[in-house]
């Protein structure tokens, strides 16, 4: 049975009261999640993929953004190939959203069993042995929510840096569900204050490195050849606290299960702190781009990745 939590303690008096539309939206989401859980994980995932494809065609929600960005990232693709890749990216996003929505209540054993291939986990063990925590860099590729839950299911303390939502009822619900599957949540505006303590306690700090984040400084580095504003937080934390940096990516496989990849991000100290930070940002952005090239249909192309750019960006490298 799915119960609606008492949200009176989740939304503080300092925050504006939820609007009527927020309450309706929240109730609709909870009802939809309850219905989807009846279908089981695979059934719910399939429904999510089907609904998201409808968002692309016939409804065309952000279709232009997606097609332009894919065409810019992969200029060798024909218009037909761009549209096919766009449709598959919508399906992947729908599956990711629904798979994440029905994840609470899943046992650690089941979550671990849903990963059919793991590469590089020994880097996690080695990093934890150092005792300074882990900076886990990821991107909006595959199922990033499940990736964090999988790490927590394997017994690693996970603190995920997330962006707040406009609907505080929904935000409180998402925070609760993340906690139910073993994660703590750090809002991006609180990351500078809370991340140091988590690292001292040898926790893993998970940060998405392909969207701007409030409270964390950014820098411009190339992503598919175009300057993209990218968070510097992971690099700053790594240099300040000596924590290892690992790229973690969780992508869906043809079987419907997942592959989980861990790669160390090289940290080189030259004595120039600003240059070292920028070098790390560039390094993990390049590594993420390589994974996106391997799994382009599972990237979140619906986000305007090049929306913010330096004012002197040449016209041919501006947002497509």
CA distances from 44 to 33, 38, 252 (A): 9, 8, 15
Going across the sheet that includes 258-264, the strands are 115-119, 258-264, 245-252, 134-138, 204-208, 158-162, 183-187
CA distance 246 to 268: 14
pLDDT score at 216: 56
**Measuring CA to CA, which residue among 287, 262, 291, 288 is closest to residue 121?**
262
Q: What is the pLDDT of residues 219-229, one digit of tens each?
A: 999 999 999 99
Pair 220, 227: CB distance under 8 Å: yes
Give, to the nearest 10 degrees, the angle between helix 233-241 and helix 273-294.
130
CA distance 209 to 279: 14
Structure tokens at 183: 């994660």
pLDDT score at 9: 33
Q: What is the pLDDT of residues 98-148, one digit of tens each?
A: 998 888 888 999 999 999 999 999 999 999 999 999 999 999 999 998 999
Q: Three-state SS across 192-254?
A: HHHHHHHHHCCCEEEEECCCCCCCCCEEEEEECCEEEEEECHHHHHHHHHCCCEEEEEEEECC
Confidence of residue 5 (pLDDT cuts 50, 70, 90): very low
**Where are the chain's structural domains?**
20-317
pLDDT score at 165: 66
pLDDT at 217 over 90: no
Q: What is the pLDDT of residues 186-213, one digit of tens each?
A: 877 777 888 889 999 999 999 989 986 5
Helix (H, G, I), strand (E, B) or coil at 191: helix
pLDDT score at 2: 33
pLDDT at 255 over 50: yes
Residue of 8 and 91 predicted with greater confidence: 91
Q: What is the residue-wise DSSP string for 77-130?
A: S-HHHHHHHHHHHHHHHHHHHHHHHT-TT--HHHHHHTEEEEE-HHHHHHHHHH
């Amino acid at each position: 049975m799915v119960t609606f939590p008492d949200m009176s303690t989740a939304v503080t008096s300092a925050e504006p009261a939820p609007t009527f539309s927020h309450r309706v939206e929240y109730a609709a989401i909870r009802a939809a999640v309850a219905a989807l859980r009846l279908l089981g994980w695979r059934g719910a995932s399939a429904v999510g993929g089907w609904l998201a494809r409808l968002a692309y065609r016939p409804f065309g929600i952000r279709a232009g953004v997606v097609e332009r960005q894919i065409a810019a990232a992969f200029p060798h693709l024909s218009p037909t190939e761009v549209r096919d890749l766009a449709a598959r990216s919508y399906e992947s996003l729908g599956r990711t959203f629904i798979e994440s929505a029905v994840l609470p209540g899943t046992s650690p054993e089941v979550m671990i069993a849903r990963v059919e291939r793991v590469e590089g986990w020994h880097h996690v063990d080695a990093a934890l042995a150092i005792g300074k925590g882990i900076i886990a860099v990821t991107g909006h590729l595959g199922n990033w929510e499940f990736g964090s839950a999988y790490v927590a299911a394997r017994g690693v303390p996970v603190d995920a840096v997330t962006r707040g939502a406009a609907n505080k009822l929904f935000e409180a619900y998402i925070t609760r569900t993340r906690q139910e599957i073993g994660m703590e949540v750090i809002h991006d505006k609180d990351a500078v204050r809370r991340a140091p303590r988590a690292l001292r306690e040898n926790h893993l700090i998970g940060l998405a490195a392909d969207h701007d984040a409030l409270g964390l400084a950014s820098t411009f580095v190339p992503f598919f050849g175009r300057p993209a504003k990218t968070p510097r937080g992971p690099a700053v934390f790594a240099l300040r606290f000596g924590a290892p940096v690992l790229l973690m990516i969780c992508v869906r496989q043809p079987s419907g299960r997942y592959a989980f990849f861990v790669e160390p991000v090289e940290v080189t100290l030259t004595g120039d702190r600003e240059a070292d930070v920028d070098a790390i940002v560039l390094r993990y952005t390049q590594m993420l781009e390589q994974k996106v090239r391997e799994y382009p249909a599972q990237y979140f192309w619906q986000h305007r990745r090049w929306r913010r750019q330096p004012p002197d960006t040449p016209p041919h490298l501006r947002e497509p």
